[in-house]
A and B are shown apart, each in its own frame.
Chain A
């Protein structure tokens, strides 16, 4: 992810661009001038004449209303509110007058992706600068209008104030002349507010998300709600294998009896996104559902037609048992020597089962050819990855494809690569009409980019005194990045091979160890069976299961308290010292949250068969660590093996918190996701496809299963990091460690199943 992150940084690196603030008919416009812009026109001329297609980050109208453009997908994280808040804080405008607009795809927005918990982290600096530039331009204009020196003025809540004189932003926009360009050098040195001057962001702020009211009255528009004139409805027929299926014949005799049935299309996809696809058309969706149910399609199945969950797990175990498989992700000290010198080794094998997204809005896309462009109406997280696939499928230039933004009825990573848009576009092209392709829940499940099952082999070394000397962590899974964005694979630390950093992050932990090796291994059986997906918390979400459970095992082996053992290793020395700004403080901050959470639970009186377990995590990655410590309080029913999660205690240090209530909502949701993946939900591959295709067999956590939660944020003025996913990571190992502390059974397979616990209790 380092590479991906660098690429992303380039697109938001404003140091090589200039800012323009000029008066236009709509009021005041703040735009980035693209790097290629010659600069022969002034800011005002450029903006007024639309000399280039400006990346307008905000505009201010003559009423003082500020409209902030949002190039991120809204999928429940209230991202527009957080980003607008960052702009408004620096701009010193009145929050009551701020609104947001989600934008269509366009190359001017740079690399468009909403994922990785990156949005606030990556946008914080550029959007702060965009706001600060506006404030400076307004101060300059205000000083001129008031007839005072610029350095006597300051901006405050929509006014420029100098002594007892003031002028409102509204008047300035009405009467002032703005023609201000900030050179790239000026942009680079724009001062950002110190923490004590922030009035719209930070832990003490209490404000409401802009997208919420529409989500309480049915007016929020999701992709599935879009209609255009003359469109046909469509439902896919999901082929028996994700790869290599071929349609031999289609018999629609029975479908023809269905009112509204409009035939079917067999798709040929130049982008190879879908293989062996048939799409059924109707003038209404329920007829399309029925028609697919009675359609008889004969296929030549792909090679993975018989693959099972157990095949995948066995392959993972085989790969992890090899001593030199995979790509080196971490290689500190000399693990081979440490192991050969060791008096004793401790080995454990951990697994996680396949998990599904089940975002509640099933996949859908409406494809429409209009005025020479292909308009794709859909909720999508990674437009810059999806657009090229659609363009290739349609055999048109990428500039001819526009993805229009809608609310996402859940993203969680499933809506990153928009593979489902391709069959919608191909069908629309084939029939010459707009096509709204909607997946049923079962279609969606079968076409899911599942979180791959995983296997991890842990090997700890101990010297003659029984002291821990090194850790080898080998882990095998399907790699989403290899399947969908192979250009983003990272090279091994020894320069050999490549690996998916999203499926390795978390193994590069913040504990100081003399010897530490992490090997990322690709399970190729996964790659050839389905497209493994990024699922909320991605690699750290399953890697921490083995790491943080095994740390407890290593502590117990040495007769140490697991928390004390962690704190001892969180010494913030060497590479664990962290880097400014994003990981400043390093392991010391993880030490701090772990100390705090352990103090929180120190005096809890445990009942019979109860235990508390801990974990420490720093997702999503070392370059953007949200420092989180978790304590889980569980009860184990010794009779039936049922684990009840009574309460979660979570302490989080994520730097400056831009939107505190939104951040809390993300932590609540992600903690419950972690709980669900730990105790409730999993899928199983059978015959090359997932077997649980609806909510009658796929069983995530429901309201009755919700534990109590005590979530505390550390007051911090450090650089803000992402929070959408990191809360998931530490939950499962904290529960597993709690179960061990409660009844002495070490569970190593996720989800934790009562049967396995019962078996452990009886041996």
Chain B
């Protein structure tokens, strides 16, 4: 049994400790917004935040996260500036990768509120979009950065516990 916090709630997982966190999130906890794409950390569809860091949950054994704080796309509560920018720029096509894209981008803006185009491309290069909506992903990140006026306030449900 592993205890950790997800989107502000303390959870006990009964999965084997070597179970990738992705499946615990999706099938044990039932949060389906985090997606399975490759299982080897190469596509980014499964990206979540582990203590604020973008992490590929398909490779992370649940046994390794005891006591840690996880945030998934659901944990952004539709309040993150990126989510609004994603709608304003009409980013998603099929949408399957977009939870991962948003979670990855959120950690970029958290540390670099006004990233350059190259910084965005470098940071986002591990997140694959098969519809190839890359142009709009980039524009939406820039838009969220602009609209957040240099400091992005990220909604962190885990912060409520502190």
- What 0/1 pattern do residues 76 to 88 of B give for CB contact below 8 A with A? 1010000100110
Do residues B93 and A77 form an inter-chain contact, with CB atoms below 8 A? Answer: yes
Interface positions of B from 17 to 41, Cβ below 8 Å from A: 19-20, 23, 26-28, 31-40
Q: Which of B83, B96, B135 contacts A217 (CB 8 A)?
A: B83
In the assembled complex, A220 has its CB within 8 A of some CB on chain B: yes
In the assembled complex, A126 has its CB within 8 A of some CB on chain B: no
Collect the chain B residues with CB atoms within 8 Å of residue A704's CB: 121-122, 125
- In the complex the two chains form, what is the Cα distance from A665 to B91 in whole Å? 8
- In the complex the two chains form, what is the Cα distance from A408 to B130 in whole Å? 12
Do residues A410 and B32 form an inter-chain contact, with CB atoms below 8 A? Answer: no
Q: Which of B38, B94, B98 contacts A216 (CB 8 A)?
A: B98
- In the complex the two chains form, what is the Cα distance from A289 to B120 in whole Å? 34
Do residues B96 and A695 form an inter-chain contact, with CB atoms below 8 A? Answer: no
Q: Which of B94, B132, B137 has the most CB of A within 10 A?
A: B94
Collect the chain A residues with CB atoms within 8 Å of residue B78's CB: 216-217
In the assembled complex, A361 has its CB within 8 A of some CB on chain B: yes
Instruction: Give min CB distance, B126 to chain A, whole Å.
Output: 8
- In the complex the two chains form, what is the Cα distance from A530 to B50 in whole Å? 42
Do residues B37 and A441 form an inter-chain contact, with CB atoms below 8 A? Answer: yes
Which of A134-142, A207-215, A476-484 lies at the binding interface?
Answer: A207-215
- What 0/1 pattern do residues 330 to 353 of A give for CB contact below 8 A with B? 000000000000000000000000
Given contacts A218-B31, A360-B97, contact A672 B90 (CB under 8 A): no
- In the complex the two chains form, what is the Cα distance from A668 to B91 in whole Å? 11
In the assembled complex, B55 has its CB within 8 A of some CB on chain A: no
Given contacts A217-B83, A225-B32, A702-B128, contact A440 B93 (CB under 8 A): no
In the assembled complex, A696 has its CB within 8 A of some CB on chain B: yes
In the assembled complex, B15 has its CB within 8 A of some CB on chain A: yes
In the assembled complex, B92 has its CB within 8 A of some CB on chain A: yes
In the assembled complex, B1 has its CB within 8 A of some CB on chain A: no
In the assembled complex, A219 has its CB within 8 A of some CB on chain B: yes
Dominant secondary structure of chain B at its interface with chain A: loop
In the assembled complex, B54 has its CB within 8 A of some CB on chain A: no
Q: Which of B31, B37, B124 contacts A360 (CB 8 A)?
A: B37
Q: Which of B23, B36, B86, B130 has the most CB of A within 10 A?
A: B130
Collect the chain B residues with CB atoms within 8 Å of residue A76's CB: 92-95, 131
Collect the chain B residues with CB atoms within 8 Å of residue A243's CB: none
Do residues B132 and A668 form an inter-chain contact, with CB atoms below 8 A? Answer: yes
In the assembled complex, B108 has its CB within 8 A of some CB on chain A: no
Q: Which of A361, A408, A668, A696 contacts B40 (CB 8 A)?
A: A696
Given contacts A212-B87, A215-B95, A695-B40, contact A284 B23 (CB under 8 A): yes
Q: Which of B15, B35, B86, B124 contacts A703 (CB 8 A)?
A: B124
Collect the chain A residues with CB atoms within 8 Å of residue B31's CB: 218
Collect the chain A residues with CB atoms within 8 Å of residue B91's CB: 212, 216
Do residues A407 and B40 form an inter-chain contact, with CB atoms below 8 A? Answer: no
Can you name the residue of chain A whose Cβ is closest to the Cβ of B43? A695
Collect the chain B residues with CB atoms within 8 Å of residue A305's CB: none
- What 0/1 pattern do residues 695 to 711 of A give for CB contact below 8 A with B? 11000111110100100
Do residues A362 and B125 form an inter-chain contact, with CB atoms below 8 A? Answer: no
- In the complex the two chains form, what is the Cα distance from A218 to B72 in whole Å? 9
- In the complex the two chains form, what is the Cα distance from A346 to B125 in whole Å? 43
- In the complex the two chains form, what is the Cα distance from A219 to B83 in whole Å? 13
- In the complex the two chains form, what is the Cα distance from A62 to B38 in whole Å? 47
The tally of residues in A whose CB lies under 8 Å from a CB in B reads 60
In the assembled complex, B154 has its CB within 8 A of some CB on chain A: no
Given contacts A284-B27, A700-B128, contact A410 B86 (CB under 8 A): no
In the assembled complex, A122 has its CB within 8 A of some CB on chain B: no
Do residues B76 and A217 form an inter-chain contact, with CB atoms below 8 A? Answer: yes
- What 0/1 pattern do residues 650 to 678 of A give for CB contact below 8 A with B? 00000000000110010011001100100
In the assembled complex, B114 has its CB within 8 A of some CB on chain A: no
Can you name the residue of chain A whose Cβ is closest to the Cβ of B77? A217
Do residues B19 and A286 form an inter-chain contact, with CB atoms below 8 A? Answer: yes
Do residues B23 and A286 form an inter-chain contact, with CB atoms below 8 A? Answer: yes
- What 0/1 pattern do residues 135 to 149 of B give for CB contact below 8 A with A? 111100000000000
In the assembled complex, A144 has its CB within 8 A of some CB on chain B: no
Do residues A668 and B27 form an inter-chain contact, with CB atoms below 8 A? Answer: no
Q: Which of A76, A215, A410, A706 has the most CB of B within 10 A?
A: A215
Can you name the residue of chain B whose Cβ is closest to the Cβ of A216? B86
In the assembled complex, A259 has its CB within 8 A of some CB on chain B: yes
In the assembled complex, A694 has its CB within 8 A of some CB on chain B: yes
In the assembled complex, A222 has its CB within 8 A of some CB on chain B: yes
Do residues B42 and A668 form an inter-chain contact, with CB atoms below 8 A? Answer: no
In the assembled complex, A358 has its CB within 8 A of some CB on chain B: yes
- In the complex the two chains form, what is the Cα distance from A214 to B92 in whole Å? 10
In the assembled complex, B150 has its CB within 8 A of some CB on chain A: no
- In the complex the two chains form, what is the Cα distance from A218 to B76 in whole Å? 10
Collect the chain B residues with CB atoms within 8 Å of residue A233's CB: 27
Collect the chain A residues with CB atoms within 8 Å of residue B37's CB: 360-362, 441, 695
Given contacts A216-B86, A217-B78, A703-B121, contact A669 B33 (CB under 8 A): no
Do residues B130 and A362 form an inter-chain contact, with CB atoms below 8 A? Answer: no
Q: Which of B43, B125, B126, B136 contacts A668 (CB 8 A)?
A: B136
Q: Which of A77, A219, A227, A410 has the most CB of B within 10 A?
A: A410
- In the complex the two chains form, what is the Cα distance from A259 to B138 in whole Å? 43
Q: Which of B15, B125, B133 contacts A702 (CB 8 A)?
A: B125
Collect the chain A residues with CB atoms within 8 Å of residue B27's CB: 227, 233, 284-285
Do residues B133 and A694 form an inter-chain contact, with CB atoms below 8 A? Answer: no
Can you name the residue of chain B whose Cβ is closest to the Cβ of A259? B16
Do residues B94 and A212 form an inter-chain contact, with CB atoms below 8 A? Answer: no
| Nearest 6 Cβ contacts at the A-B interface | A218-B33, A215-B95, A76-B93, A409-B96, A76-B94, A672-B132
Given contacts A212-B87, A218-B74, A665-B136, 18 further A-B contacts (CB under 8 A): A78-B93, A209-B90, A216-B86, A216-B98, A216-B102, A218-B72, A222-B96, A225-B26, A285-B27, A358-B130, A360-B45, A409-B95, A665-B90, A668-B136, A695-B37, A703-B125, A704-B122, A706-B121
Residues of B within 8 A of A (CB): 15-16, 19-20, 23, 26-28, 31-40, 42-43, 45, 72-74, 76, 78, 83, 86-87, 90-99, 102, 120-122, 124-138
List 13 contacting pairs A-B, 8 Å CB cutoff, sorted by A.
A215-B92, A216-B87, A221-B32, A284-B27, A360-B35, A360-B96, A661-B90, A662-B90, A695-B38, A702-B134, A703-B124, A703-B125, A703-B138
